[in-house]
Structure 1
Amino acid sequence: MKVADDELCDVWYQALLERASEYTGVFFAGVITTGVFCISVCRARKPKRENVEFYKDAKSALAAGYRPCKVCRPAENAHSAPLFVEEALALVRQDLKIRIADADLRKHGISPERVRRWFLQHHGITFQAFQRMQRVNIAIQELKSGRTATDVALDNGYESLSGFGYTYKRLTGAAPTQPAQIIVIHRFTTTLGPMLVCATERGVCLLQFTDRSMLETEFSDIQCLMNARIVAGENRHTQQAEKEISEYFAGTRRHFDLLLDLIGTDIQRSAWQALLAVPYGQTSSYRTIALQLNKPDAASAVAAAHGANRIAIVIPCHRLTGLDGAITGYDGGIARKAWLLEHEKNMS
């Protein structure tokens, strides 16, 4: 949404001139003369006040026709973890089995309150809850390898088996002695904004921009369909997804090698497979896909399958246009769809 409050825009313009880091992600500045949009810390030459429009989110700036600035990479850096969060995560990564308490953060000059607020805003959970999920994810893998629940509990910092069992069951829905089905979820940033990737042991089951409508419903659906619980964490599939999506935006990848774990009806699966066959840099239409499936009257079903696609970019529903080539609906936003098509065209 474009901001019309001139007084607020003047404050933001001053922040843009000063490269004020505390305003990172608070506003997005569209520069009329260059057609790009920036965040507050951009190092590029500053425009005149009359040549700047302000937006509250990157999606609105894209919809207004602005391109992401190549200097400050606004959609990516506005949502990347600030230094104090990276420092907190570095402490966690030193030993994922050790709980980093508020006192430990303070010893390193990190404000627990600021870390907690950032995690709540960007992950919907506290930093401590994030750590618990990470430890449970490790525990699941160790239990599957044959270790006893007692050994795993003590090795992961729990003082008692009962305490470990309670946390484990609350997060996974199963006791440590029972098989646990989990879906790990990981957040990462891209040129067009942050994305969430969910994966089972078999492959990626969801990959979406964080501002996709009905995202919470999709989380509920995959948990129900797969009889599994979503927990924060990573596995080889989430790591591969982040790597390949980053390469796609960098223009160095045209085909994806990700393993996918898809659940859908026969027509949905067929439509998704047909979408996967649409070449990079080219487009197709609902009717064309329907004809390929030998279902000439199934364009509406193909459109529904397109709407049910949980794997953005990799299953390229952004390559579907109207019969006349018009850019039609896209849940990630028409502006994103146009950007993706232009990106592929330029890289072809």
Structure 2
Amino acid sequence: MFDLPDENHLYQALLARDANFDGRAYVGVTSTGVFCRLTCPARKPKRENCRFYQSIADCIAAGYRPCKRCHPLAPAAEGDPMIGKLLGALQADPARRWSEADVSGAGFDPSTVRRVFKRQYGVTFLEMARQARLRTGAAVLPSGGRVIDAQLEAGYESPAAFRAAFGRLLGMPPGQFASKDALLRADWIDTKMGVMIAVSDARALHLLEFAERRALPGELKRLHDHAKGRLGFGRFAPTDQIEAELQAFFDGRSAQFDTALAPLGTPFTREVWRALRDIPAGETRSYSEIARAMGRPEATRAVARANGANPIAIVIPCHRVLGADGSLTGYGGGLWRKQALIELERGFAAQREKAG
């Protein structure tokens, strides 16, 4: 695990409400006896009243109680009531067409909503709503449903509008997924952190991504070209296997992934991805540490690029890579997921320590 930066650095992060330290550092306020996230919206305490800790357990052990404003015991995104209300509305009616006027009607400033969702999830709320509506319609396609049925289910006004939206998400119109002799098959997996798309052949998993990841269309296009157009809907055995392993992972039962992997990449990127898999669950590394472990200390930037190009989320654990100062840095699945994954995996580290 990383050591925290010095306390002056962390105090400046507290004043700036720097989201890069969500889940990585907490502040205990001696004058109130509470501990908070560094992004807490409450009035900022004086520097002399602040004590900084790396974990929630450290805060509790020091005698602090959790703040009722920023809810440090919950994932970061859940600590914002605005996010909770909007996500609840989206879950209740995923086919609804949201606009900025609807956001305003719910009592929120659209620019604030846009900024907060972008910071936590990597997409705006309106983009998330469009993707939810698209997934609602696309869910009928893996079971052989007609495109027109998917279009109607998604609430789009015309088949052309649905095809265009689907093309923006997946990089191609749905008609190109109709091959009956598909070499690769794509399907949806529901997880506690959102819908993921898995692509596998009869032998191995080629892709596993959260559905709203911006790189997904390009990744699917590369797989489509690699399979010479033989990319269809449905499942092979590796998708069933990874779904079961993800369930065990999110339930806190196992961090072991045995599904065979076949990600597309250069020899160097595959070497980086193998190095990522060597990081035990519950531990983290910096890009430079990975480069040194590979015997390529001069390749830090190349390691960072390979990390960002990872097409198999969670199993190839790019979420275990942090900034040199211990901050979360970027993550294609959203910083809130990176924080939640790191916190989940602390439980696996504790299990290892208990087992001796």
Structure 1-normalised TM-score?
Answer: 0.56
AA of the residue aligned to 2:214: S
Structure with the greater alpha carbon radius of gyration: 1
Aligned position for 1:256: 257
Tell me the distance in 2 between the aligned counterparts of 1:242 and 1:265. 27
Matched, 1:245 2:246: yes
What SS is found at the alignment partner of 1:40?
A: helix
Aligned position for 1:192: 193
Aligned position for 1:287: 288
Tell me the distance in 2 between the aligned counterparts of 1:249 and 1:345. 12
Give a deviation string over 1:159-190, Cα, whole Å, max 9, x none: xxxxxxxxxxxxxxxxxxxxxx6211112222
Q: Percent identity?
A: 29
Tell me the distance in 2 between the aligned counterparts of 1:323 and 1:31. 26
Change in CA separation of 1:280 and 1:54 when aligned onto 2, cut-off 3 Å: farther
Query: Could you tell me whether the CA contact under 8 Å between 1:58 and 1:193 is conserved in 2?
Result: no
Matched, 1:39 2:102: no
Matched, 1:114 2:165: no
Question: In the TM superposition, what is the alpha-carbon distance from 1:55 to its structure 2 partner?
Answer: 8.4
Change in CA separation of 1:113 and 1:324 when aligned onto 2, cut-off 3 Å: closer
Matched, 1:315 2:316: yes
Tell me the distance in 1 between the aligned counterparts of 2:116 and 2:328. 17
Question: In the TM superposition, what is the alpha-carbon distance from 1:243 to its structure 2 partner?
Answer: 2.2
Question: In the TM superposition, what is the alpha-carbon distance from 1:211 to its structure 2 partner?
Answer: 1.3
Tell me the distance in 1 between the aligned counterparts of 2:337 and 2:347. 15
Query: Could you tell me whether the CA contact under 8 Å between 2:204 and 2:261 is conserved in 1?
Result: yes
Question: In the TM superposition, what is the alpha-carbon distance from 1:274 to its structure 2 partner?
Answer: 0.6
Query: Could you tell me whether the CA contact under 8 Å between 1:188 and 1:194 is conserved in 2?
Result: yes
Identify unmatched segments of 5+ residues in structure 2: 1-76, 93-106, 122-127, 350-356
Query: Could you tell me whether the CA contact under 8 Å between 1:30 and 1:61 is conserved in 2?
Result: no
Question: In the TM superposition, what is the alpha-carbon distance from 1:343 to its structure 2 partner?
Answer: 1.9
What SS is found at the alignment partner of 1:194?
A: strand
Aligned position for 1:153: none
AA of the residue aligned to 2:263: L
Alignment of 1:193-342 (within 5 A): 193-342=194-343
Tell me the distance in 2 between the aligned counterparts of 1:263 and 1:214. 14
Tell me the distance in 1 between the aligned counterparts of 2:91 and 2:153. 23
Give a deviation string over 1:229-248, Cα, whole Å, max 9, x none: 32111111122222222322
Tell me the distance in 1 between the aligned counterparts of 2:225 and 2:308. 19
Give a deviation string over 1:88-117, Cα, whole Å, max 9, x none: 79xx97xx7xx8899xx9xxxxx9933675
Alignment of 1:120-139 (within 5 A): 120=162, 136-137=179-180
What SS is found at the alignment partner of 1:288?
A: helix
Question: In the TM superposition, what is the alpha-carbon distance from 1:255 to its structure 2 partner?
Answer: 1.3
Change in CA separation of 1:276 and 1:101 when aligned onto 2, cut-off 3 Å: closer
| Structure of higher RCO (CA pairs closer than 8 Å, 6+ residues apart) | 2
Q: Kindly tell me the number of residue pairs found equivalent between the two proteins.
A: 244
